Structure 1
Amino acid sequence: MGITPPELRTVNVTRYVTPLREGGSLPAIAEADDDFLYVLKFRGAGQGPKALIAELIGGEIARKLGFRIPELVFVNLDEAFGRTEADEEIQDLLKFSVGLNLALHYLSGAITFDPTVTVVDELLASQIVWLDALLTNVDRTARNTNMLIWHKELWLIDHGAALYFHHSMDNWEEQSLRPFVQIKDHVLIKRASKLEEVDKAFREILTPEVIDAITSIIPDAWLTDRSFETEDDQRQIYSRFLNNRVANSEIFVKEAQNARQTLI
């Protein structure tokens, strides 16, 4: 029996509320036709649809591993939205993002995680470090933790900078076997004392079937690399990259352990 792929809802933007200018790609808070607010990530932003692919894969892998992740939804953006926007930069962003985008449910009242205020237990810290080493996520540092505290619980957000191998996919196999040296800058690396325990548990969850099910939901419209004959050819590279990393996780686990030892 096959693994059922994640089911993301699709909503339509009804109101552009405000840009989030602290984000380099100008995400925005927007209202959809289900009356919820979302943090909307645009396919027309600097890194294009690859940032949305990383957000989608990273978020759904994290959810499968049991982390708290705001609901991800596909978002249709109508061409009419760009016509009434006064800011030319935002107007261009909206124009180049017509069609299918991605958004995270807006956690109203959430506060940015501060490691000097909130102590994360060593198991959870190890789990998050393992996840980010798998995904090659460079964006969970003390300067930019991409974690929120909402209702006294820790939530992970913003995986768009992960999977940076896909900006140069011709040597994906070599990149899949590289240690993730940037893990030394991870905000939780000092607390990650249980990486071997986490590695065993997470490898059992992230089977090839699970990873294939997650990558299967990448929309064709985002798979725009013309070096591949078909969208499915490109989609399969994501599966093969991630499956390679899981199968050889001792490489990035050892790197993380070594990084931690130099800091404690």
Structure 2
Amino acid sequence: MLEEVVATRYVTPLREGGSLPGIVEADDLGTYVMKFTGAGQGRKTLVAEVICGQLGRRIGLRVPDLVQMQLDPVIGLAEPDQEVQELLKGSGGLNLGMDFLPGSLGFDALAYQVDPREAGRVVWFDALINNVDRSWRNPNMLIWHGDLWLIDHGATMIWHHNWPGAQASAAKPYNASDHALAPFAPDIAAAAAELAPLVTEELLTEVAADVPDEWLVDEPGFDSTDQLRRAYVEALLPRAATIHERISLDAPTAAKPSQAPGWLAERLAPRRDHENSDESSRP
């Protein structure tokens, strides 16, 4: 189970993401990026953050520590932004905290080199969890103390937005052509040989158990939170064994229809519009 802390001070919002996460200090004297249950994407993004973040850490990838974070909305009374105030008021209780990496820089493929082994490990992992939000448009990776760290896994396991079609969705291939690490010749075969054996039923059961019950209750089609946790295991376990055979790495595209769910596609649209405007203005 994730450690539980209490938020003691709301520092500032992070406006890069559509969910408007915030930097928050806690009673363990740590500083975290808090992701809120009251955000428009809903609690399933927090479920995805926990399962995929914990899974990544357990198989040896660099993902910041996660905690359960209790929030009393009163800590944000001095925040002048009305949108932030409403988000805090709608998120009282249990939220998710991700360890803040001070001084980290956003990954830039033009500024940093990644060796094929590490690139392959990240691409394989993203294929396993069907991450549609680690493209060259939005890498969701940080460089901290010279190492590559993975963040923001809310837009993964898209099948859990439609459980009746989950098995069919989880069996689909993964197009990594636009992945942020595609230019670094990712060694998918080596990654699969190394990481797939680690993704066992026992491990998946353990990481699913880290999700708080209150983020899983009342899911249509499931009689209990344990049954829902089992559904995550059953979706990921067979995918781990064979997804390396269904990863495609073709030439990256300048623009293509989004594979993301509606809320994420809306978040990415302004970024793509800006990029298209920049391209059209070039001679």
What TM-score, normalized by structure 2, do the two folds share? 0.84
* Whole-angstrom distance in 2 between the partners of 1:147 and 1:105: 14
Is residue 2:177 matched to residue 1:184?
Answer: yes
1:177–1:248 contact (8 Å) kept in structure 2: no
Name the structure 1 match of 2:166: 172
* Whole-angstrom distance in 2 between the partners of 1:198 and 1:126: 6
SS at match of 2:44: helix
Is residue 2:254 matched to residue 1:254?
Answer: no
The correspondence for 1:142, drawn from 130, 136, 143, is: 136
Name the structure 1 match of 2:210: 217
After alignment, is 226-235 or 132-141 more displaced?
A: 226-235
* Whole-angstrom distance in 2 between the partners of 1:255 and 1:172: 17
Is residue 2:96 matched to residue 1:111?
Answer: no
1:129–1:192 contact (8 Å) kept in structure 2: no
RMSD, matched Cα:
1.6
Name the structure 2 match of 1:3: none
- Count of residues in Structure 1 that have an aligned counterpart in Structure 2: 251
Name the structure 2 match of 1:4: none
Structure 1 residue 228: Cα displacement: 1.8
Structure 1 residue 226: Cα displacement: 3.2
1:82–1:92 contact (8 Å) kept in structure 2: no
2:134–2:140 contact (8 Å) kept in structure 1: yes
What TM-score, normalized by structure 1, do the two folds share? 0.90
Name the structure 1 match of 2:92: 98
* Whole-angstrom distance in 1 between the partners of 2:46 and 2:161: 13
TM superposition outliers: structure 1 runs of 4+ over 3 Å? 81-86
Structure 1 residue 82: Cα displacement: 5.5
Report sequence identity in percent. 43
After alignment, is 16-25 or 85-94 more displaced?
A: 85-94
Name the structure 2 match of 1:196: 189
* Whole-angstrom distance in 1 between the partners of 2:36 and 2:228: 21
* Whole-angstrom distance in 2 between the partners of 1:83 and 1:113: 34
SS at match of 1:184: coil
Name the structure 2 match of 1:152: 146
Q: Which amino acid aligns with 1:187?
A: A
* Whole-angstrom distance in 1 between the partners of 2:126 and 2:154: 12
* Whole-angstrom distance in 2 between the partners of 1:104 and 1:226: 28
Is residue 2:221 matched to residue 1:231?
Answer: no
The correspondence for 1:42, drawn from 25, 36, 39, is: 36
Structure 1 residue 83: Cα displacement: 4.9
Structure 1 residue 79: Cα displacement: 4.0
The correspondence for 1:56, drawn from 45, 50, 53, is: 50
2:35–2:95 contact (8 Å) kept in structure 1: yes
Q: Which amino acid aligns with 2:155?
A: A
Pairing 1:5-84 to 2, within 5 Å after superposition:
7-81=1-75, 83-84=77-78
Name the structure 2 match of 1:245: 239
SS at match of 2:134: coil
Instruction: Return 5+ residue gaps in structure 2 as ranges.
Output: 253-283
SS at match of 1:70: coil
1:74–1:100 contact (8 Å) kept in structure 2: yes
Q: Which amino acid aligns with 1:186?
A: H
Instruction: Return 5+ residue gaps in structure 1 as ranges.
Output: 1-6
* Whole-angstrom distance in 1 between the partners of 2:12 and 2:103: 16
1:85–1:91 contact (8 Å) kept in structure 2: yes
SS at match of 1:101: strand
Deviations 1:13-61 (A, max 9, x none): 0011100011100000011011111100001111111001111111111
Structure 1 residue 141: Cα displacement: 1.2
* Whole-angstrom distance in 2 between the partners of 1:235 and 1:63: 19
Name the structure 2 match of 1:205: 198
SS at match of 1:162: coil
After alignment, is 67-76 or 223-232 more displaced?
A: 223-232
